[in-house]
Amino acid sequence: MATITAIYENGVFRSLGPVDLPVGSTLRIEPVAAPATPPSEPRTPEEEAHLDRVYEIRSRRHRGGDPQAAERHNEHQ
């Protein structure tokens, strides 16, 4: 069986990638610390251009027209 890399959150191990196991499978887990961030492949120029566009859009300030919107954030919860 291949190694499954997972993260432990809120009492549950969550896989960081696809897992080829039937639902409800029982596993024996032997914890081995892994690097904090998995190594990644270098991005292609197309991916870099796409990310540049995403970050540019995210940097824009949104003006919703309601100056008290932040104060009323939890009003309907």
Question: Is the confidence at residue 19, as pLDDT, over 80?
Answer: yes
pLDDT tier, 38 (very low <50, low <70, confident <90, very high otherwise): low
- 29 with 13: CB under 8 angstroms? yes
Q: Residue 49: which pLDDT band, with cuts at 50, 70 and 90?
A: very high
Q: Which two tokens stand for residue 15?
A: 């896989």
Which amino acid, 46? E
Distances in Å between the Cα of 50 and the Cα atoms of 40, 45, 75 are 17, 9, 36
Mean pLDDT on 13-31: 88
The confidence band for 14, taking pLDDT boundaries of 50, 70 and 90, is confident
Alpha helices (H) along the chain: 45-58
